[in-house]
Amino acid sequence: MNRMQSLIAERLEPRRAQALRLVDAIIRDAANSGLLIIPIGSLARGEFRIHSDIDLLVRAPLDASRRLRAEQIVANHLRGTDIPYDLIFEADLDADRVEELLHDALHAC
């Protein structure tokens, strides 16, 4: 392992742990607001890397105020971190794409 690989490996675990803590807090705060937000993508698959982002799926159709609330919860937790994120709303996707995204989440359990 060269120096760069060592440095990346050294920084990866704290970043992954931080991402997991943040997602847990987002899920909890969302649930307290009556929202269901779940991790998808690399974090859900256990493939989170040093430059990965956090992908989150907001389940179920939402009115404008609940959609805004979901955005606020996620932004409040991730603001100031160096971890980018994608917030995806189930209502904006077709059924096949939702099923594809949920495949990651279900296999992460």
Paired with 39 in beta bridges are 56
**CA nearest neighbour of 50 among 109, 7, 85:** 7
Query: Whole-model pTM above 0.85?
Result: yes
pLDDT tens string 12-41: 899 999 999 999 999 999 999 999 999 999
Kindly list the structural domains of the chain, giving each domain's residue range(s) and its CATH number in brackets, ordered by start.
3-108 (3.30.460.10)
Q: How far is CA 58 from CA 53, 71, 104, in A?
A: 16, 9, 14
**Residue 91 structure tokens:** 């209502």
Secondary structure of residue 87 in the 3-state scheme: strand
Secondary structure of residue 86 in the 3-state scheme: strand
